[in-house]
Structures are given as C-alpha cells and as structure tokens.
Structure 1
C-alpha cells in the first residue's frame, strides 16, 4: 500500500513551503544568508525529503537562490530590483484592477466588502504582525481576483512577495500606514462605483506610497 506515502510527503512539503515562504517574506532570514539544511530540519521539525522539495520550489518561485545544485541562499536586496518590482506592480496590478472592475460580479463585490471589513477590524485590533499581513494579502488578492487571467494573478502574487521583503524590513511607520489603510477603503468604494479610471489612479498612488516606504526601509538597511 505504498500509495499512502506520497500524499504525506506532499502535505509535509506544502506545509514547510508555506511556512518558509512566510518567513522569507517576513524577514526571518537575512538577505544573502546561506541556509544550512540541517539547521532548517531542526528549526522546522521536518524531514529532508519534504524540506528539499520545498526549497526547490521556493528557488523556482524566486524567494531562494540555488547554488551548485545543493545549497540555498536568501536573495540579496538591491535598489534596482526594488524599482523593477514596484514598476511591474504599477503596470500589472493596475491593469488587473481595471479588468476586475470590468468583469467583477455581485459575488466579488460581497467578497471585497468582507475582505475590507476584516482588514479594517484588524487595523484597530492587531499589531500589524503576521495575522494582519495575511488579511492584507487577502484583501489585495480579492481586489484583482476577477481580472480573468490566472497568469496575471500569479505574477502579481509573486511581485507582492518580493516587494514585501523590502516593505517589511524595518519597524512599523504608523502615519504612512494610516494613509495606506485609508486608501484600502477608498479603493473598494471606487471599485463598487465601477470608476475604473479613478480606481487605477488611486491604485497607482497606493503602490507609489508603499514603494516610498519600502525604499526608506531598504536605505536604512543598506
């Protein structure tokens, strides 16, 4: 009955993949750091096979760099990369948001209101830690969900993870964060009004403000 083995490895691999992904994006490892496989096995209480599978997937996704077929390193950070990521977010996320407004139905409207409500409640009750970050990601995903392109959504997800490596480098900045939080609800209002032009302009401004924040954090760490 060997067929029971594979799902277990698959599940363990998926679990460690998600945990490592969150930790890499959240800055639990230093940019440029070489990851020791044995240390990771101990830290995450995981076997070699699912761990290696997860590391290979994270390297393919761009959150790790694979070296000489065996070792893995956390990617370095650079100003030019941050600029590139922010520019791609402006183009792709703006386009996806416009398409979502065009194609989204009343189910999407309800999901958007729900995601915004959860995030607003979290703005006042949570300390902008991991739980808030999860709700924040979910909100941004919901904004563009009905854009009609699986690949576009996939690229945006990848860009967000790369962008967040910079954005989450430093301590929270409440005043900037408050402006960004307010913009979340303005984005929903414009989406519900189906005002795609104003919504795109606000999304662009939102990404620009986030970029300024991420750049400041990067410069403090460079």
Structure 2
C-alpha cells in the first residue's frame, strides 16, 4: 500500500506540475502575484504534499520564485530579462538548428513536414489559441530535435517557456503574425534543402520579430 501511495503522489505531482507550468506560461496568474496554497489545493483538487513538490520543481525551473517562509510568487516582468532570454534563444536555437539540419534523417524530414502542415491548418482564434500554441511549440521542438544534445534541447525548452510568458501577455499584432507564420514554412524548406546558413539567418530574424511582439507585454 505504501508503494502505491508514493506512486499516486508522484502522479499527482506530475499532473499538477504540467498544469501549473502551462498556466504560468499562458499568463493565468499575474506577474508578481503570490500564490495561495489553499486556493491551489482547491482549484486543482490535489493534496498538500504533491502540490508543494510541483511548486518546488517550478521554482527550480524558473517559473516561480520561492520566498523563505512566505510561499511562492510569480516572477515579475523585466525588460532586461526578456532581452537576455531572446539573446540566448538566438544563440542556442540557431546552434541547435544547424546541428539538426546536419544530422536529421528521412524520418525527421517526414515528421517535420507533418507537424508544419498541422500548424498551418491550426486555428489561431481566441477559442482555439491553446491548441495552436501547443502545435506551435511542437513545431519548434521538432525542427531542432535531431541536434544530438539533450541538454541543448532542455535549455531551449526552458527559454521558450520563459519567452512565452512575455509573448502571450502582449497584444496580438496580425501583420507580424502573418510574417511569422510564413517563416515557419520557409524554415522547413531551408531545413529540407540543408541550407544551414540561410536557415540560421531566418531563425535569427524569426526570434527577433517574436521578441518585438513580446515587448508589447510592457505596454
């Protein structure tokens, strides 16, 4: 029974971690907001132990700040932090893309084409935005997946989550969104053609345009 309870606790902690991580990235909680443990327990229907474990993991990941004896708080937004995140995305994601293009096989090419097609067909309306965001994340992960470095992929995933905290709070800019959507298809074509430098240049521009949108989170 003890082993079963531990397993159940791990499952509950993982579930609440995934849910809270997504809601923090989506801006469900205000920047700087202190999280009330009692409210979270009730909202997610989870016990104190798995909830605290999930909160500790999110603090280690950088999506929460743990305050001594005072619980957990959502990080505030800072222009300097966004600048740093965007710079690191350009460095690491362009590096990963170059490696992925050099190492990607036919199976990767097929998967990349498939996920790009689904992203293109995804609905960006407010009612379906969560589905679009999930597919958008999957596209970027697939693009760099064969880079050959687990740690590089982990760092990129963490940077994406931190970047998206800002981007999803910013107003929608339809003209820029159309350019970014078109660039997804261009990135696929360049990757399949193994045009490394052109792909790196386009990824750099893609991140820069997204960064300019994310700056709207401060307006």
Measured against the shorter chain, the TM-score band is over 0.9
Residues 90-129 of structure 1: matches in 2 within 5 Å? 90-123=90-123, 129=129
Q: CA deviation at 1:123?
A: 4.3
In 2: Cα distance, 1:126 partner to 1:194 partner: 36
Asked whether the 8 Å contact 2:122–2:132 carries over to 1, the reply is yes
| Residues in 1 aligned to 2:143 and 2:115: alpha-carbon distance in whole angstroms | 9
* 1:173 CA displacement: 2.1
> Structure 2 stretches of 5 or more lacking a match?
none
Q: Which moved more, 1:173-182 or 1:15-24?
A: 173-182
Q: Could you tell me which residue of structure 2 aligns to residue 218 of structure 1?
A: 217
Q: Distance in 2 between matches of 1:93 and 1:147?
A: 10
Contact 1:17 1:54 in 2 (8 A): yes
Query: Cα RMSD (Å) of the superposition?
Result: 1.3
Cα distance in 2, alignment partners of residues 172 and 78 from structure 1? 20
Alpha-carbon separation, structure 1, partners of 2:99 and 2:128: 30
Structure 2 vs 1, CA of residues 34 and 116 (structure 1 numbering), >3 Å: closer, same or farther? same
Distance (whole Å) between structure 2 residues aligned to residue 125 and residue 104 of structure 1: 33
Number of residue-to-residue matches in the alignment: 219
Asked whether 1:12 is paired with 2:12, we answer yes
TM-score with structure 2 setting the length: 0.96
Q: Which is worse superposed, 123-132 or 55-64?
A: 123-132
Could you list the per-position Cα deviations for residues 141-188 of structure 1 after superposition, in whole angstroms to 9, with x for gaps in the alignment?
000000000000000000000000000003322221111011000000
Shift of 1:7: 1.4
Contact 1:98 1:196 (C-alpha < 8 Å) held by counterparts:
yes
What TM-score comes out, normalization by structure 1 length?
0.95
Structure 2 equivalent of residue 130 of structure 1: 130
